[in-house]
Amino acid sequence: MHHIARLEQRLEAEQKEKTVADTELDVRSEIPRRRHELIFESFDRLPVGDAYVLVNDHDPKPLRYQLEAENTGQFSWEYLEQGPEVWRVRIGRTAAAPGASA
């Protein structure tokens, strides 16, 4: 039993390290029409299992709907901060795009 508890603790520590190491993509200074392009370019470059933290000046909920429509089952979405002035969302790649080589 102690072995399982130690394993769980190690996995939790590794997850925390990974979260800390996530690249931050701050689009607040970008013109609005350029933001989605940058966000999707960053997502497309993510290897499976990696993530980045999107920093925005408004709730990026429409972006989530677009990701779901274009990348169903391939991403994770976790709010880290929800306004009122800054939103931070951890966006992860959970699966490769259909037809993508691993």
pLDDT digits (tens, 9 = 90+) for 55-70: 999 999 999 999 999 9
What local confidence, expressed as pLDDT, does residue 40 receive?
94
Superfamily of domain 23-93: TusA-like domain (3.30.110.40)
pLDDT tens across 23-66, in order? 999 999 999 889 999 999 999 999 999 999 999 999 999 999 99
Task: For the chain, give every domain's residue range.
Answer: 23-93
Instruction: Taking residues 9-23, report their average pLDDT.
Output: 59
User: Taking the model in full, what pTM does it have?
Assistant: 0.74
Percent of the chain with pLDDT over 70: 75
How many other C-beta atoms lie within 10 A of the C-beta of residue 4?
8
